[in-house]
Amino acid sequence: MVKKTRKILLLPGDGIGPEVIAEVKKILEWMNKTKSLDFVLSQELIGGASIDANKVPITDEVFYKSLESDAVILGACGGPKWDNLEFSKKPERALLKLRKELKLFANLRPAICFKQLVDSSTLKPEIVSGLDIMIVRELTGGIYFGEPRGIEPMENNQRKGINTHTYTTSEIQRIARVAFDLAKKRRNKVTSCEKSNVMEAGVLWREEVQILKDKEFKKVDLNHMLADNCAMQLLRNPKQFDVILADNLFGDMLSDEAAMLTGSLGLLPSASLGIKDKNGRVRSLYEPVHGSAPDIEGKNIANPIATILSLSMALRYSLDLEQEADLIDKAVEQVLDNGLRTKDIISPNKKEVSTSVMGDAIINELSKNLH
Ligand code: IPM
Ligand code: MG
């Protein structure tokens, strides 16, 4: 078999980022050794780690390197150490810059409840068992990036905080198209969320999604839901959803909520995909939905599964390695079947293991499946 070189950039970042990315690196190195693959791995600083070393959350060099990679896998950015920095210098800016400048407008966040972990959810088993939702979050628009923004002085020692929320027809329709296309491969249902009862941008969102559906996706079942109602419905009856479509801010919140339905934020991967460039390549960034979790940093107890499943998404969506992605997903299920759990998903009669032992166990299952 001819080896195909694939450039993968690892950006561990802050907090538990380096610990969970280390497990992904082990798997990639294992794949390089045992399969006819040829990943060229490199690793760079981002977020607070980059601020400490280079005074900026991401250097130009790392930024350009991410442009040239076939897939970028990121751990997490941010932590209390950098909380008091001026807004534009915070670790999170690196992530937002990558999303914006790589034009990664589509963020896919699958919330799947593994049958082995039904008891780890704070919800009743019958509510979450078999849960399989895909949240499609718009990632480069809305209030995260709108201008004007800032904090302005006012009279009488008052200050004004300003952010702007805007969406255009094309921004709405290109993310809605992603949601409809995904729904066609799943259970054919899209629930689009906004606050059209209080926001003009929400009215436009609802109208443009409907226009696109009527024009190009007649057979997909579409319903519109106010975002606050969606938050409630996710707890009441989450299995009513297939694909949830939301803007940047509502998508951020609803995906954290959906993550907890599955038992732990430590289980949820994500893929951020851009438009096709002139060589037909879709830029991409893969990261766990959880953050840097500074409270458990350096303890070797973080759950690496969300990041390992993000690697699986990278193999599937960016690296043309569907089979390898399936192997990883299966190995994750097997370690759960074997009763291994990190601290966040521990339950009675299960074996608590560290971050690195969980990674090793997944590699062990991968090796078994290969023979
Ligand atoms: C996420 C995170 C980020 C966001 C933060 C770290 C900037 O919460 O990816 O969900 O708000 O988008
Ligand atoms: Mg978030």
- Ligand 1 atom nearest residue 139's Cα: 12
Q: What percent of the chain has pLDDT over 70?
A: 99
For 336-348, write each residue's pLDDT tens digit. 999 999 999 998 8
Give CA torsion, residues 228, 234, 237, 241, to 10 deg.
100
Indicate the pLDDT class of residue 370, thresholds 50, 70 and 90: confident
State the pLDDT at residue 371.
66
CA–CA distance, 367 with 331 (Å, rounded to integer): 9
Give, using CA atoms, the residue closest to atom 11 of ligand 1. Answer: 252
State the pLDDT at residue 148.
97
* Residue 243 CA to ligand 2 centre (angstroms): 18
State the pLDDT at residue 2.
56
Q: What is the mean pLDDT of residues 53-65?
A: 97
List the chain domain ranges.
1-114+264-371
For 221-275, write each residue's pLDDT tens digit. 999 999 999 999 999 999 999 999 999 999 999 998 998 899 888 899 999 999 8
Picking from 134, 89, 135, 88, the residue whose alpha carbon sits closest to that of residue 248 is 135
Of all ligands present, the nearest one to the C-alpha of 138 is 1
Residue type for position 124:
K
CA–CA distance, 77 with 17 (Å, rounded to integer): 8
Q: What's the CATH fold of domain 1-114+264-371?
A: Isopropylmalate Dehydrogenase (3.40.718)
Counting Cα atoms < 13 Å in the Cβ hemisphere of 9 gives 21
Picking from 122, 112, 50, 123, the residue whose alpha carbon sits closest to that of residue 81 is 50
Residues in contact with ligand 1 by the CB-under-6-Å rule are 78, 92, 95, 252, 289, 291
Q: What angle do CA 295, 261, 23 make, to 5 degrees?
A: 50
Under 8 Å between Cβ of 23 and 356: yes
User: What is the best residue among 95, 144, 257, 268 to mutate for testing ligand 1's pocket, by most ligand atoms within 8 Å of CB?
Assistant: 95
Of all ligands present, the nearest one to the C-alpha of 257 is 2
For residues 349-371, one letter each, b for 16 or more C-beta atoms within 10 angstroms of the residue's C-beta and e for the rest, the string is ebeebbbebbbebbbebbeeeee
Under 8 Å between Cβ of 272 and 95: no
Kindly list the distances between the CA atom of residue 314 and the CA atoms of 169, 320, 326, 361, in Å, as whole numbers in the listed order.
29, 9, 12, 21
Q: What percent of the chain has pLDDT over 90?
A: 88
CA–CA distance, 85 with 165 (Å, rounded to integer): 24
